Amino acid sequence: MTQKYYAQIYVTLRPSVLDPAGVAVRSGIQQMGYDNVEQVRIGKYIELTVNASNLDEAKTQLDRICDLLLANPVIETYRFDLTPVSAEVQTP
Amino acid sequence: MTQKYYAQIYVTLRPSVLDPAGVAVRSGIQQMGYDNVEQVRIGKYIELTVNASNLDEAKTQLDRICDLLLANPVIETYRFDLTPVSAEVQTP
């Protein structure tokens, strides 16, 4: 019996890393006439579903996927939320 | 007197829009040996701070910024969370 989990993953630049895309967006916002917007940082948002036998297994697997594939640990950090999806899935 | 709000903005592709980047990431995850991951969708995650006199004003302004600059309403949807930042800022 495995459980399906819905994962929301947030990958953001480390605070010490410059974010030229964020600076460009801030400049675009200012050209719209809003000079009250600051500290714009652009990151990635990834949604996926994972089948695992328990929450810990899903967490371990997602940590590995994030470290190796989704985030560059040198300049980025990540965090994720896992939510069990109601329908349980029978393993074949 | 204005209040500073911390905004977390999530821009995601509409469900009907194909996501080739998501398919590529799913294929990468499968090559890592995890075939239990599905429905990978890639979006954008934007953090910023905005000074506004109240929550409604901040919401209205962010809606405009998202519609015109951060999201492409034809293929993307967005949502955001606004959190008041504790320190209040005096207008000059």
Contact A2 B36 (CB under 8 A): yes
Contact B45 A50 (CB under 8 A): no
Q: Name the band, by pLDDT with cuts 50, 70 and 90, for residue A82.
A: very high
Q: Closest by alpha carbon to A79, among A61, A66, A64, A60? A: A66
pLDDT of residue B66: 96
In Å, how far is A76's CA from the nearest CA of chain B? 13
What is the maximum span of chain A, computed from C-alpha positions, in angstroms?
Answer: 58
How would you label B24-48 residue by residue, b for 16+ Cβ within 10 Å and e otherwise? ebbebbeeeebebbeebbbbbbbbb
**Nearby residues of A7 by Cβ (< 8 Å), 6 or more positions away:** A46, A47, A48, A49, A50, A58, A62, A80, A81, A82, A83
pLDDT tens-digit readout, A54-73 = 999 999 999 999 999 999 99
Contact A38 B47 (CB under 8 A): no
Phi/psi of residue A24, each to 5°?
A: -65, -40
Distance of alpha carbon A63 from alpha carbon B69, whole angstroms: 32
Q: Name the band, by pLDDT with cuts 50, 70 and 90, for residue A47.
A: very high
Mean pLDDT of chain A: 92
pTM: 0.87
* Chain B residues inside the 8 Å CB shell of A28: 69
Nearest by CB to B65, from A32, A39, A52: name it: A32
Instruction: Check CB contact of B17 with chain A, cutoff 8 Å.
Output: no
pLDDT of residue A2: 87
Average confidence (pLDDT) over A1-21: 94
DSSP of A1-55 = -BEEEEEEEEEEE-TTS--HHHHHHHHHHHHTT--SEEEEEEEEEEEEEEEESSH
Q: Name the band, by pLDDT with cuts 50, 70 and 90, for residue B90.
A: low
pLDDT of residue B5: 95
* Chain A residues inside the 8 Å CB shell of B26: 48
Q: Does residue B88 register a pLDDT over 90? A: no
Instruction: Check CB contact of A59 with chain B, cutoff 8 Å.
Output: no
pLDDT of residue B32: 92
* Chain B residues inside the 8 Å CB shell of A29: 65, 69
Average confidence (pLDDT) over B63-88: 92
Cβ atoms of A92 and A9 within 8 Å: the answer is no
pLDDT of residue B83: 95
Cβ atoms of A28 and B69 within 8 Å: the answer is yes
pLDDT tens-digit readout, B15-68 = 999 999 999 999 999 999 999 999 999 999 999 999 999 999 999 999 999 999
Amino acid, res. B72: N
* Chain A residues inside the 8 Å CB shell of B10: 45
